[in-house]
């Protein structure tokens, strides 16, 4: 299947396209995947127009992931967890999986401690973001950049 080259927006892109006639398949659009933009949109859906400040949240992920199928993650939020001052929810987002959302955890003053552990899937090396929604309406965040490699010996489909 061939497509006509799109007219590039910038002169530099146009020169690249013109000089590489044999590279059409490489310039085909990427399959739908989360991008920094869709992650920003997913965050906006939760946060609205409020500002998100770095702090109070600690997101822990191993910097070098053994296997992207099951990545251990712990998120802790510094909060007294009283009726008047507590974490309402913690939301996790990622940059390069097919979808930007990972999970949303809903807490409240009965939690006692705002600390959650789980295991997530990461399709590629990327940024993971945790956003805490506090009872006073403020939002706080932390982010971690992780490196994800494929296993050394790729196997056949299961027996």
- Of the ranges 7-15, 48-56, 116-124, 134-142, which one interacts with other proteins (CB under 8 A)? 116-124
Nearer Cβ to other proteins (5/105): 105
Binding residue for other proteins, selected from 8, 17, 27, 120, defined by CB under 8 A: 120
Angle 151-94-100 from CA coordinates, rounded to 5°: 115
How far apart are CB 19 and other proteins at their closest, in Å?
Answer: 27
Whole-angstrom distance, CA of residue 18 vs CA of residue 59: 45
Q: Burial level of 80, CB count in 10 A (0-12/13-18/19+)?
A: exposed
- Each residue 67-86 as x (binds other proteins by CB under 8 A) or -, in order, gives x-xxxx--------------
Closest CA to 94 of 150, 56, 143: 143
Q: How far is CA 72 from CA 75, 80, 93, in A?
A: 10, 25, 15
How many Cα atoms sit within 13 Å of 104 on the Cβ side? 11
Of 38 and 101, the one with the shorter C-beta distance to other proteins is 101
> Residues touching other proteins: how many (CB under 8 A)?
45
Q: Among 43, 57, 122, 146, which residue sits at the site for other proteins (rule: CB under 8 A)?
A: 122
90, containing H or E segment: strand 87-94
Residue 142 CB, shortest distance to other proteins, in Å, is 17
Site string for other proteins, 85-114 (x = CB under 8 A): ---------x--xxx-xxxxxxxx-xxxxx
Contact 135, 85 (CB under 8 A): yes
- Of 2-10, 14-22, 51-59, 64-72, the window that binds other proteins (rule: CB under 8 A) is 64-72
Residue with tokens 């997530």: 120
Site residues (vs other proteins, CB under 8 A): 62, 64, 66-67, 69-72, 94, 97-99, 101-108, 110-122, 147, 149-159
């Amino acid at each position: 299947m061939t497509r006509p080259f799109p007219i590039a927006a910038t002169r530099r892109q146009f020169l690249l396209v013109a000089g590489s006639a044999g590279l059409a398949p490489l310039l085909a659009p990427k399959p739908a995947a989360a991008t920094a933009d869709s992650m920003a949109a997913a965050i906006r859906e939760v946060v609205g127009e409020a500002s998100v400040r770095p702090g109070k949240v600690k997101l822990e992920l191993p910097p070098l992931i053994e296997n992207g199928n099951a990545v251990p993650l712990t998120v802790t939020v510094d909060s007294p967890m009283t009726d008047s001052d507590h974490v309402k929810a913690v939301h996790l987002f990622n940059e390069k999986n097919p979808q930007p959302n990972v999970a949303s955890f809903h807490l409240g003053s009965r939690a006692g401690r705002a600390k959650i552990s789980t295991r997530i899937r990461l399709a590629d090396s990327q940024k993971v973001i945790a956003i805490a929604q506090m009872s006073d309406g403020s939002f706080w965040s932390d982010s971690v950049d992780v490196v994800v490699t494929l296993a050394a010996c790729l196997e056949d489909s299961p027996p």
